[in-house]
Amino acid sequence: MAYSEEKYKQITYGSAPIDEENLADLTPALVNYLPHYYKYSPITGSIQSGFANELGLVYYSIEDLLKQLFVNTTTWGIERWETFLGIKPEAEKPLAHRREVVMAKIRGAGTTTREMVQRVASSFAGGMVDIYEYPADYHFVVKFVGVRGIPPNLGDLTNSIEEIKPAHLGFSYAYTYTVWQELAEWNVSWTEANQFTWDELSTRVLATIN
């Protein structure tokens, strides 16, 4: 059973549910390391099974703890990342969104530059963002090119940019949408396109239509 973000909204530090499938993969078959005739002994099998289960839990705990050391894999450790970086933990938010905020905070450390804003924005937009600067207007535009439509968690991205940008600069967003010409170039048939509303089509790429 894999972890779900919904579960992580309700658990406290160190009380994450065990991923039974991963635990099974990490549990060694100790009886296989003994002479073959021990495999036929129910007593030996039971003893070795008990040892194997405990050893599997040790391996699992080590692997799970190591995951908390990296933002992209942290689960129950996300609150420690947030506290360390001065971010107010919001347990009701999806885990993926909380990771984005943490990553943006890390990428936003140091002197503000165009590249820094790009790194922070890319934390929320699939890694592909263009920044267009208009110095005469004291304004810059963040254009999302790694995701079609309005990316999720835009409010936290706005807060992150506000935190790192110079106070005298304003900014806005530009979004990328799929247009009819692209659909024609992709050879998408009317039957395929008719499965979706226009709003759905405008935020999809070829791989999600076929």
Task: Tell me the CA end-to-end span of the chain in Å, nearest whole number.
Answer: 29
Strands (E), 93-155: 129-134, 139-148
Asked if 142 and 155 count as a contact pair (C-beta separation under 8 A), the reply is: no
What's the CA gap between 88 and 153, in Å, rounded? 16
What 8-state DSSP symbol labels residue 170? Answer: E
Predicted pLDDT of residue 9: 41
pLDDT in tens, the chain (210 residues): 344 444 444 434 445 677 778 888 888 888 888 887 777 788 888 888 888 889 888 998 999 999 999 998 999 999 999 998 888 888 888 898 899 889 888 887 777 788 888 888 888 766 688 899 998 998 999 988 877 777 777 888 888 898 888 888 899 888 877 666 665 665 666 666 566 655 555 554 433 332
Give the span between the Cα atoms of 2 and 17, in whole angstroms. Answer: 9
- Per-residue pLDDT of 57-113, as tens digits, reads 899 899 999 999 999 899 999 999 999 888 888 888 889 889 988 988 888 777 778
**Per the structure block, which two tokens stand in for 99?**
């990771």
- Unique residue bearing structure tokens 């406290």: 12
pLDDT of residue 75: 92
